[in-house]
Amino acid sequence: MTHVHPPEDLLWDYHRGRLSPGMRLVVRTHMDLCPQCRSELRLFDQVGGALLEEIEGVAMSDTALDLAMARIERPDEPEPEPAATIKRPAFLEGFDLPESLKTANIPGRYWAAPGVWIAPVKFDEDTQGTKTYLMFVRRGMVMPEHTHRGCEITLMLKGTFNDLNGSYSRGDFVLCDETIQHSPAVGADEDCLCLVAQDGLILPKTLLGKLLQPFARI
Ligand SMILES: [Zn+2]
């Protein structure tokens, strides 16, 4: 149940503005680092409309109507503030942060354990039930074995970590849910920085997401 790229359903919900602010930030940051997913998103723009017309021609189900309305009402992404107006906290100096994180509001950090710090990301919008943070883990550390509540997505920004499912490094997108139990180990050569978003919601499986899969895999 792990992915180096976000699954198509998640990309589709990103595309139509249905993700919580934290999930949206993680997916957008992956986009900054992944040309493949950027072109997949452009494909959604081109194919989504054509598919909707086809669905409407056959039978206009409630779901299709909902999706059509969602498309029409898709909110514009809020304009990020100019980077110059955001004061970078000193603890983020020296990290090569992708564009989308340079404008994120990350006011401070706390040490969660020796060698592990957490820096929450703040949003203007309502983020009830969700958590978004940068997590730093010193090289060579092994995290305690754990499972996940709801859906958790992690984007690697620096270093590597390994678990039973594989090895992950910068740009890799990892999806965890209640079924995943693991104790990730950070590589011995480099400290690890990742962006994490937790969301109590189950990942949506939309009709259109399913329909788009054959196209998205090109
Ligand atoms: Zn990707």
**203 Cα to the center of ligand 1, angstroms:** 18
**157 Cα to the center of ligand 1, angstroms:** 13
Tokens 């970078």, residue located:
88
**pTM for this model (two decimals):** 0.73
Residues of the domain holding 44: 8-79+205-216
Average pLDDT over residues 106-133: 89
Average pLDDT over residues 9-32: 91
pLDDT of residue 57: 57
Please, are residues 10 and 177 in contact by the beta-carbon 8 Å criterion? no
Residue 142, in any domain of the structure:
yes
Per the model's pLDDT, the better-predicted residue between 125 and 99 turns out to be: 99
Same domain, 209 and 186: no
Nearest by Cα to 122 from 106, 134, 143: 106
**98 Cα to the center of ligand 1, angstroms:** 14
Same domain, 191 and 101: yes
Same domain, 195 and 101: yes
Residue 84, in any domain of the structure:
no
pLDDT digits (tens, 9 = 90+) for 52-85: 666 655 555 556 656 665 555 555 566 655 555 5
Same domain, 135 and 73: no
**23 Cα to the center of ligand 1, angstroms:** 14
Tokens 């603890």, residue located:
91
Residue 102, in any domain of the structure:
yes
Residue 86, in any domain of the structure:
no
**153 Cα to the center of ligand 1, angstroms:** 13
**pLDDT for 2 beyond 50:** no
Residue 42, in any domain of the structure:
yes
Average pLDDT over residues 10-36: 92
Q: The domain spanning residue 166 has which CATH number?
A: 2.60.120.10
Q: What is the mean pLDDT of the chain?
A: 78
- Kindly state the percentage of the chain with pLDDT values over 90: 33
In Å, what is the CA distance from 187 to each residue of 10, 158, 202? 28, 10, 30
**59 Cα to the center of ligand 1, angstroms:** 33
Same domain, 70 and 25: yes
pLDDT of residue 158: 96
**96 Cα to the center of ligand 1, angstroms:** 18
**6 Cα to the center of ligand 1, angstroms:** 6
Tokens of 8: 């198509």
Same domain, 75 and 102: no
In Å, what is the CA distance from 40 to each residue of 5, 12, 218? 11, 10, 9
Angle between helices 8-15 and 35-58 (to 10 degrees): 80
Same domain, 126 and 33: no
**7 Cα to the center of ligand 1, angstroms:** 9
Same domain, 45 and 128: no
Same domain, 20 and 70: yes
In sequence order, the 6+-apart residues with CB closer than 8 A to the CB of 39 are none
Please, are residues 20 and 14 in contact by the beta-carbon 8 Å criterion? no
Per the model's pLDDT, the better-predicted residue between 183 and 90 turns out to be: 90
Average pLDDT over residues 122-135: 87
If one counts the domains in the chain, the total is 2
Per the model's pLDDT, the better-predicted residue between 13 and 29 turns out to be: 29
Same domain, 42 and 132: no
Average pLDDT over residues 155-167: 88
**103 Cα to the center of ligand 1, angstroms:** 21
Q: The domain spanning residue 45 has which CATH number?
A: 1.10.10
Nearest by Cα to 27 from 200, 81, 38: 38
**139 Cα to the center of ligand 1, angstroms:** 25
**4 Cα to the center of ligand 1, angstroms:** 7
Same domain, 151 and 173: yes
**38 Cα to the center of ligand 1, angstroms:** 7
Residue 1, in any domain of the structure:
no
**13 Cα to the center of ligand 1, angstroms:** 15
